[in-house]
């Protein structure tokens, strides 16, 4: 386990390598020579530079792309915050293994490997309305599981999650980090009715009140209000930064899971791109708070890394244009 204490983890979160200005600038210079008006490919151009910056290569590559889906169960479901029972988490992990979920299809189309990592599904986290979701030991174990999952041979990673009830801890973490109260961040998740939505708000308010002493510390917030799969995404996002691997973040839960890193370091999420804005209430506000403009807006709210995996195709397109387009000189095209 790479992190044996919160102090060790905190130190790792503030000691983050910067990206390569030289590689990003080389991409920008090449973009200006290609057969197009400068800047006319919009974000495709900046995506190519982003890849170069965080891979540390003047010519990025996407030979190995991997989607990690972390799965966890939540004690707060006892408060009636989900339209589905918690056993669906285990059932969906089996569906992933059988190739029957949306993420299986999207990963295949994107040319990405898929790794589903269940985290102690037989033992849900604590109900944060009554107790911390995780004590320090459980939190560090989950963070470490995510950190260890990411290997240095990867060129791009996508993070996603599966966990019945996990939009509730995501909303609680968002409220604790950025304020505004529970209602601002709370949506219908798996499709709860008005009464279920009210139960979610009440549960989050109770959690914020109970754990008020922890709310000054982003790591304390993640442990008290989060979940194992959220902690693992946090750890995996941190590992990617340390290893020089760019990250595509999925929807609301995934973004909330990574958000404490932005509170611990001013450029903590600079190596990430928001793949899409979820239809789940709160995600757009969270992206605005983090300064992460999304690539896609398709009304999706599935999770599983589905939006991040879709965005892999955009990143591949950006790299193909950057690497394979001719320059004005090569094509014999007159410049302005």
Query: Helices (DSSP H) in the chain: which residue ranges?
Result: 6-14, 21-31, 43-55, 87-98, 102-110, 136-149, 167-178, 182-185, 194-210, 218-225, 228-243, 252-264, 283-290, 306-324, 328-331
Distance CA 298, CA 277 (A): 8
- State the residue for tokens 């890849």: 51
Query: 109: alpha, beta or left, given left = phi > 0 and alpha = psi -120 to 50?
Result: alpha
Per-residue tokens: 215? 């709310």
Number of Cα atoms under 13 Å in the Cβ half of residue 231: 33
Question: Is 335 assigned a catalytic role?
Answer: no
Exactly one of 113, 161, 304, 330 is catalytic; name it: 304
For every residue of 111-135, DSSP letters joined together read T-EEEEEE--TTSPPP-TTTS-SS-
Query: Could you give the residue numbers annotated as active site?
Result: 304
């Amino acid at each position: 386990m790479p992190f044996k204490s919160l102090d060790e983890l905190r130190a790792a979160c503030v000691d983050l390598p910067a990206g390569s200005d030289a590689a990003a600038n080389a991409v920008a210079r090449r973009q200006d020579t290609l057969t197009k008006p400068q800047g006319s490919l919009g974000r495709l151009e900046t995506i190519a530079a982003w890849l170069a910056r965080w891979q540390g290569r003047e010519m990025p590559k996407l030979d190995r792309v991997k989607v990690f889906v972390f799965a966890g169960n939540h004690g707060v479901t006892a408060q009636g915050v989900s339209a589905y029972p918690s056993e669906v988490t285990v059932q969906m992990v089996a569906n992933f293994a059988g190739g029957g979920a949306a993420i299986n299809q999207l990963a295949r189309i994107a040319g990405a490997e898929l790794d589903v990592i269940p985290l102690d599904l037989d033992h849900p986290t604590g109900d944060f309305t009554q107790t911390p979701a995780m004590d320090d030991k459980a939190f560090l174990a989950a963070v470490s599981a995510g950190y260890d999952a990411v290997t240095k041979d990867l060129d791009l990673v996508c993070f996603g999650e599966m966990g019945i009830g996990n939009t509730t801890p995501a909303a609680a973490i968002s409220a604790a980090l950025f304020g505004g109260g529970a209602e601002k961040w709370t949506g219908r998740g798996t499709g709860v009715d008005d009464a279920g939505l009210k139960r979610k708000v009440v549960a989050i308010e109770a959690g914020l009140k109970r754990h008020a002493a922890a709310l000054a510390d982003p790591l304390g917030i993640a442990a008290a209000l989060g979940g194992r799969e959220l902690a693992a995404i946090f750890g995996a996002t941190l590992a990617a930064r340390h290893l020089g691997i760019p990250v595509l973040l999925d929807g609301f839960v995934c973004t909330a899971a990574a958000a404490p890193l932005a509170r611990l370091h001013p450029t903590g999420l600079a190596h990430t791109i928001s793949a899409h804005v979820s239809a789940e209430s709160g995600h757009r506000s969270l992206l605005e708070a983090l300064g992460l403009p999304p690539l896609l807006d398709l009304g999706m709210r599935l999770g599983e890394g589905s939006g991040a995996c879709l965005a892999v195709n955009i990143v591949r397109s950006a790299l193909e244009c950057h690497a394979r387009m001719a320059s004005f000189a090569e094509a014999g095209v007159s410049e302005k």
